[in-house]
Structure 1
Amino acid sequence: MQLLFCRLRTHQWCFLLFNVALFHALLFGADIVEEYLLQSSPNTYTDVQTLDIRERARKLDMGQVKGNASRYFRISNTDACSHGNLFLLAFVSSNAGNVTRREVIRKTWANVSQVQGYGLLTLFAIGIPQTQATQEEINKEYADHRDIIQGTFPDSANNAVLKTIMIMRWAVTFCPKALFILKSDEETFVNYRSLVEYLLSLKRHAEDLYIGRVNHQVMPIRDPLNKHHVPISLYSGKYYPDYCSSTAYVISQDVARKVFVASVAMVTSMPEDIYVGICARKAGVVPIHSSRFSGEKHIRFNRCCYKFIFSSFGMKSEELDEAWEEINDSRPCTMLEMYYGLIKCKALTYLDKLTSHDSTESEESVPPKH
């Protein structure tokens, strides 16, 4: 009887160790593969142009913008970052007329001002709406929340690049001490807790960081009849530089400065995320891929999965409410729930990443949504 009991205890310990090993393999194993096999080529760019951009970024003086903010911003909100140093400054690119959507985001995933004692600030980036009535609504919204910056350009899909440049300009001018900057879309759910914990775990200096869902070897479309047509005169390379999906990515403060400096000599008639990727390439910054950013993929809700990922795209307002309520539930994930959630996350994100390599082989393919 005693021998049988010992054997049972041994089997229990073996089962427990197996589960612990499996859990860590699911949690970390694929990330190790990703880190070494799916990253962009770790080249160091040291040409004259790159060195010049990096030097100008280091010496960047934004005094002119500070002294004449109304030239660049309809709503400058210059004091939004004045209360102290920030760990993460987040910008949500929003359609000017989507007042209701911004309110949902405020009440859900953006309703976080710190993680583990590290400060966060969320701002909405918009352009000029089509009607004065909408502008009056925005003025009231700004008075109520003080979390909007507004450019001097019309708010349209064609001006997405101008909105991104505005974000970079505001960040380096009015919040230069924020360590990291997140840019996301209003259709995206962002898990601040998971993201900040990851950034805190980085064993590297907070420099040259440009991380998100990387699009690799996307070919410019040369067909003049295609709405995504990019002429050789605008971009002559066979492939675009690797770039992060505009749905959600994080850059360090120095990268914001470098991208802003590089953008001065760039035309803006280009998809937003490709534009940022080209500016980063000119500044010698290599994007880092993380499958915990969903890119343009909508990850079907799973509580344990959503506690792990950084972002999920294509979220409806009711889905935001559900996701926020569930991931803030104090219930811990059981071992089985964690297995299921992580398997689902990994399967969806890694298969999507691997298949995306095949989809970029033809010049007739349509580039990712911008």
Structure 2
Amino acid sequence: FLLLFNAQRDIKYQITSETHTVELLQSLFFHHFPNPMENSLPLSYTDAKALEIRDRARKLDLDPLKANLSSSSSSAVTCSSQEIFLLIVVCSSPENRTRRDAIRQTWGNTTASRGYSVLTVFAVGKAASASTQLEIQEEAQRHRDIIEGTFIDSPQTQTQKMLMSVEWTVIFCPRARFILHTAQDVFVGVPSLAGYLLSLTQQEDIYLGRVVHHAVPNRDPQSPGFVPIHLYPQQLYPDFCHGSAFLLSQDVARKVLVAAREVPLALPPAAFVGVCAKRAGISARHSSRFAGDKHISYNPCCYKFIFTSSAMREDDICVYIKKIPLFGISAHSKILSLANVPCKADAKYSAHRIAFKSTS
């Protein structure tokens, strides 16, 4: 019966708008009638390398890492002494301040959900343009929510950016219980995600997202995403969570960081994390409440339930977030009305910090 139960959860649908609805309904069923195996501990680890990585992660000395990272990245963000329930790291491009401001004004403006602290930060590399780099430095000082690497931000350095953000989280934000890595064009349903996380009975070894199965490395030497066979000889990647958004528990972030020392940066960012997790004995866990690379058109029921929707425009985010009080947040929380937050990308509005506090 349990095998059948798990098989139902792992059904893979064709990616169309109709099947997204079916998948969400299926996920809603399991939300109310949870799988008894979902929060169980992983199977016993027999792989010696995985055991070694997990042991090294537990004993990780952060002091030398802190010195190394301080020379390869900069940040005005301070959270080392804070108890963060959910840290959201948005992988952003230096030139896209408009997108960052839209997030700051909307879902990224949340400082607490259900009484638990939430922090949103942006990970970027250095801008190729000197003028853009000056703007990034001013923006970082003003908002104090940017983590900046010393590498030039480009399609070829996205895995480096991912690793930098994981390393920064472990070293400078070690009390963050959960970490959501997300792309800059993604809408995040913070209240629904926080509610799910609070329901977990097992809060370690969490690597959750929309799972990609049987992905093939890019072997085209003319392609920007080329992965040489001598760097990654396997024919397939292990199952990994789609890079649009995925969740790690703090202990998994540490294990990924330790495993990353022996995984080539030539891999795509999401596959890189998946390979690191696999080496640490952690399997990707699927949730259809993550949209992957698909945009979910606004629907009150869906947006109350989903964790993410991709391919969002700035004006979409503003329009959708203003409707959030209409489908449940205002009924369960005392908040500053998002309907009064202006929908234009102007950094002056990012000073308004919106806290969701449950009354239930």
1:207 to 179, 204, 207: 204
* Contact 1:90–1:122 (CA under 8 A) maintained in structure 2: yes
**Which residue of the partner structure matches residue 366 of structure 1?**
none
Contact 1:209 1:251 in 2 (8 A): yes
Give, in whole Å, the separation in 1 of the partners of 2:251 and 2:314: 34
Residue by residue over 1:204-235, the C-alpha shift from the partner in whole angstroms, topping out at 9 and shown as x without a partner, is: 1x211000000012233445555554343222
Aligned counterpart, 2:9: none
Alignment match of 1:162 (pick from 144, 160, 169): 160
* Partner of residue 92 from structure 1, selected from 63, 71, 90: 90
Which of residues 278, 283, 287 in structure 1 aligns to 2:284?
Answer: 287
Partner of 1:179: helix, strand, or coil?
Answer: strand
Q: Deviations over 1:42-89 (max 9, x none)?
A: 65442121111111111111102334543121x222x52045211011
Paired with 1:50 and 1:213, the residues of 2 have a C-alpha distance of 23
Q: Quick one: distance in 1 between partners of 2:117 and 2:158?
A: 27
In the alignment, is residue 267 of structure 1 matched against residue 264 of structure 2? Answer: yes
Q: What aligned pairs does 1:186-205 form with structure 2 within 5 A after superposition?
A: 186-204=184-202
Question: What's 1:101 paired with?
Answer: 99
Structure 2: gaps (5+ residues) = 1-24, 331-360
The answer (yes or no) to whether the contact 2:213–2:238 under 8 Å persists in 1 is yes
Q: Map 1:28-177 to 2 at 5 A.
A: 28-29=28-29, 44-67=44-67, 69-73=69-73, 75-77=74-76, 80-82=78-80, 84-177=82-175
* Alignment length (residue pairs): 304
Q: SS of the counterpart of 2:204?
A: coil
Structure 1 counterpart of 2:214, from 203, 213, 217? 217
Q: Which amino acid aligns with 2:62?
A: M
- d(CA) in 2 for partners of 1:26, 1:229: 37
> What is the Cα deviation at residue 239 of structure 1?
2.1
Q: 8 Å contact 2:186–2:310 — kept in the other structure?
A: yes
Measured against aligned partners, the alpha-carbon deviations of 1:218-275 in whole angstroms (never above 9, x if no partner) come to: 2334455555543432222232100001111110001000001111112101111011
Cα drift, residue 29 of structure 1: 2.6
Superposition pairs of residues 331-370 of structure 1, within 5 angstroms: none
CA contact (8 A) 1:303 1:323 kept: no
The aligned residue for residue 360 of structure 1 is none
- What is the percentage of aligned positions where both structures have the same residue? 44
Please, which runs of 5 or more residues in structure 1 have no aligned partner? 1-24, 334-370
Identify if the C-alpha distance between structure 1 residues 65 and 45 changes in structure 2 by more than 3 Å, giving closer, same or farther: same
Rg larger in 1 or in 2? Answer: 1
2:330 matches 1:323: no
SS state at 2:256 partner: helix
Q: In structure 2, how many angstroms separate the alpha carbons of the residues matched to 1:98 and 1:235? A: 32
Aligned match for 1:302, one of 258, 282, 299? 299
2:275 alignment partner in structure 1: 278
**Paired amino acid for 1:100:** T
Measure the CA separation in 2 of the matches of 1:70 and 1:28.
43
| CA RMSD after TM alignment | 2.6
Q: 2:182 aligns with which of 181, 184, 188?
A: 184
Residues 12-23 of structure 1 aligned to structure 2 (within 5 Å): none
